[in-house]
Chains A and B, each alone.
Chain A
Amino acid sequence: MKGDPARVAFHVQSALRHVEKMNRSSHAPQPLFSSNKRSVYLNWTGLSGWKLIPFSVAVLVMIPLAVVLFSFFTPSDDIWQHLVNTLLGRLLLNTFWLSLGVLGGTALLGISLAWLCATCDFPLRKFFNWALMLPMAIPAYVTAFVAIGLLDFSGPVQTNLRSWFGEDLSIPEIRSTGGVVLVMTLALYPYVYLLARNAFLSQGRRAMEAVQSLGHGRWRGFFRVALPMGRPWIFGGLMLVLMETLADFGTVSIFNYDTFATAIYKAWFGFFSLSSASQLASLLILIVFVLLWVEQKLTARTRYTQVEKCSARGDRIALRPLTGWLVCAYASAVFLTAFVIPVTQLSVWTMQVFENDFDVRYFSFLSHSLFLGGMGALLTVGTALLLVYAHRLHGSPFNRLMVRIATLGYALPGTVLAVGLFIPLAWLDNKLIALGKAWFSWDLGLILNGTLTAMLLAYLIRFLAVAHHPVQSAIKRITPSIDETSRSLRVSGFSMLRKIHLPILRGGLLTAATLVFVDIMKEMPITLMTRPFGWDTLAIRIYEMTSEGEWERAALPAMVLVLTGLFPIMLLTRNTREDGYGK
């Protein structure tokens, strides 16, 4: 649901991890402050606190996981039995078809467009090269309600078609498996597109030239070399798509398409059965675990892929004029349906309802969104920074494992996190209340649950990986020799942090903060399920309006989200400008 380039970058990173491992020079990251006796100023860094940080964050991530998984074995209540009997089969089937459909759709669109943009030349290629990323700015649930608003029985498209061709015209129903698959494909294909294009570009011309020098044409080269070589990246992209699909709450609830995400929400807020919700969540987690395991297997194969410094020489495949225009038409069709039409429709609706709808409440939606985004970004980036430094100071295998666990949260659906945090926090709250009563005879009330604490913790867990990657790659630029040079020039300790580390890290920190901020703005299930009373955000407003079928009135907050969603894409295009092919 989160059109989120950082996650893409994260996967590029994990795909590259093995390559980096091979290239990594022998020196291990050196402690920022050497803990030998001569650096007396900053002895505190020698404390084991640094070692504890990754461990504590990892534990924080593991708690909701453990709670949810544990509930799988707890005795079940009637509601659970009822759900198993009536719903579970449909949930599994729906989830299966949805995943399969979206995987197929995004693979088809993403890989084909990536190949065409990376290696061929056709009219408007340079434009489509980045324009095809733009649908990332639109959360899938926004595309979803625009699609329903447009294509539903009472929507303008069907109404017009009926008035032209008569009443008995049969048009496929948009509220169907096919409809959800189509919408999610259009919203999520950029993940595959981006990663596959990266793969094709990094192969450079060489691989294809080698194929040709061995007497094979380009089509064969595509299927036998380019595609297999790009496999880790493409699988990485598809994995992201799959996780987003499983985590999705907004889109499927707009379509009334029952999946685990909606069932968890209904079990909790409809049947008020937290135990059923958490049992459903445990099933979802098991599926996600299988996927994580598969992902691990797949990206481990990356070491077969050499990343080559590609030569700028060589021409793109010059398509015949007719083929070129057909390709251009194909790209235009995707771009129009995935970006232009939704945005246009949103603008039209926004203008229609603006006068009546835009009132003082919007300032509170907006300020809540901004505040949560800002606080969440600060907390998440701060934690990421601590993790990264801890890893730099103590690059032990244990710490590496802890960092890996701490950044697993990106795979946890928001609904699962909400349930998994609520249960332990409720327990803790009760303990605290009891303590408060016993010791101070004072009713503390809920300190954690239903407060911002729970929300921010959930955001932190979910988006830590998003923040971790840019900060991590920024700190890699501070090589041990930079620290040594600085020390040899008698700048060390805090002045080294201020004069050297901070300026180098600044770009990475800003990127991380932007990405997390935008992700939190768009986040729906966590916000919906853990927010304190009255803390409605833009995303919640969209949820409420769409659940009443008021598409026009959901357009205004959606428009704001789309606009903020453009920021990460700008960051992304800035970072992926290098192009292995001739112009």
Chain B
Amino acid sequence: MANKAIIELLHVTRRYRNNKSSAAHDISFKVEEGEVLALLGPSGSGKTTLLRLIAGFEAPDQGEIFLEGREVGSGTVFVPPERRGIGMVFQDYALFPHLSVAANVVFGLSHLNRRDQARKEDEILELVGLSSLRHRYPHELSGGQQQRVALARALAPDPIVLLLDEPFSNLDPDMRTQMQREVSSILEKTGSTAILVTHDHEEAFAMADQVALLNEGELEQHDTPEVIYHTPASPFVADFVGKADFIPGIVRNHLITTEIGPFPNKQELPTGTEVMVMIRPDDIDLIPNPRAENTLFRRQFRGSENVYRILLPSGQVLHSSQHSLTVYPDQTKVELKLKVTHTVVFEKSTGIFEKDAYGRYRVRSRG
């Protein structure tokens, strides 16, 4: 039997107040019990709006939102946030500055008696590793500790779903990775269903079971992190979730011919269709060959890898990620060896691609 859907959105639309355009447009998805969903997208993509719609801080203009099968938000029904049974971790944590750590954590537990509150307080503080700091005040804590308090406070009332609004964006990079791990393991321990809003695809990939990628209020793709990375549904997704280059090609005899070789025409596009083939830096291996026509230039050392830029004869540029110790000098002529297991092809006519000043193709930058 399939897992129970904890959250379900059906054709949810939310319009900007003074504007005709939508902050979220016709969005539908489900989140199953124990699942972590990441709402991923650039700023202004509507991901935070969606989270606030689910929390009940905003009401949808159209569509329905269900929490555990109960309708909580639609054109006619509106359950206020305090009666939805959600837990929320805010971007700035929104800890109550006048209350101690312990008092913050039990704030949402007033329906329990003293003894149960104390038990729950101990349990949760133990879980997030803050037992020794329970009498401190928020301003006496580090960023990471504040975040753990925010998490503990949200988890204490056993919410149906935990909503996290860019929870790591206020931490410095070292702390961020560590907290991502910790939060992941806490969520796993408690078996919580969670929705995480983020603009960082690495964070989404590292923490979520499912990723919903949003762009300008539309849901572009909803799938596992692996599928989203390897077979993006649109050039936008391809570009957003990692480095991607696009090589123009044309469909001929069931093959797609490009400057760097043929690709299979899996979508069975008609002959003569102009397409773009997505190449990720880890899809290309380099073989030095003085007679080859491709030139390496500008190596970027990233510690664990070397990223090379490769100038093709047509003027197109590709990126290739190589082992950290594999160092080729500038201007080395190389042959390209493709390791592609799944070809990702987009039709060129979609108007999404544009040529830059050097005549290279790239995904049109928005806004």
Contacts and interface: CB of A to CB of B under 8 A. Distances in A.
Interface of A: 22, 205-207, 209-217, 224-225, 228-229, 231, 303-306, 308, 313-315, 582
Interface in B312-364: none
If over half of B's interface residues share one DSSP class (helix, strand or loop), that class is named, otherwise mixed; here it is loop
Interface in B91-126: 92, 94-99, 107-108, 110-111
B98 A228 contact: yes
Contacts of B90: 206, 209-210
B172 to A, nearest CB: 17
B92 A304 contact: no
B87 to A, nearest CB: 6
A47 to B, nearest CB: 41
Interface of B: 17, 52, 55-58, 80-83, 85-88, 90, 92, 94-99, 107-108, 110-111, 137-139, 153-154, 157, 163
A216 B110 contact: yes
A306 B97 contact: yes
A313 B55 CA distance: 14
25 contacts: A207-B94, A207-B96, A209-B55, A210-B90, A210-B96, A211-B82, A211-B107, A212-B82, A213-B55, A213-B86, A213-B87, A213-B88, A213-B154, A214-B82, A214-B87, A215-B85, A215-B157, A216-B108, A228-B99, A229-B96, A303-B139, A304-B137, A304-B138, A308-B92, A313-B52
A209 B139 contact: no
A214 B107 contact: yes
Contact of B97 (A209, A212, A229, A313): A229
A19 to B, nearest CB: 9
Nearest to B82: A212
A230 to B, nearest CB: 10
Contacts of B88: 209-210, 213
Contacts of A304: 97-98, 137-139
Contact of A209 (B57, B99, B110, B111): B57
The 3 closest A-B pairs by CB, nearest first: A214-B108, A213-B88, A212-B81
B157 A209 contact: no
B94 A215 contact: no
B81 A209 contact: yes
Contacts of B57: 205, 209, 212, 314
Contacts of B157: 214-215
B367 to A, nearest CB: 19
B107 A209 contact: no
B106 to A, nearest CB: 10
A582 B58 CA distance: 12
A206 B88 CA distance: 11
Given A304-B139, A308-B92, A213 B81 contact: yes
Nearest to A218: B82
Contacts of A22: 139
Contacts of A315: 58
A216 to B, nearest CB: 6
B82 A216 contact: yes
Contacts of A225: 96, 98
Contacts of B87: 213-214
Contacts of B137: 304
Contacts of A213: 55, 81-82, 86-88, 154, 163
Contacts of A214: 82, 87, 107-108, 153-154, 157
A22 B57 CA distance: 32
Contacts of B107: 211, 214, 216, 224
A188 B98 CA distance: 28
A301 B96 CA distance: 14
A214 B153 CA distance: 8
B82 A206 contact: no
A206 B92 CA distance: 9
A22 B139 CA distance: 10
B283 to A, nearest CB: 41
Given A212-B82, A215-B108, A306 B139 contact: yes
Contact of A212 (B56, B96, B139): B56
Given A209-B88, A214-B87, A214-B157, 8 more contacts: A205-B57, A207-B96, A209-B57, A210-B88, A212-B80, A214-B107, A215-B111, A305-B97
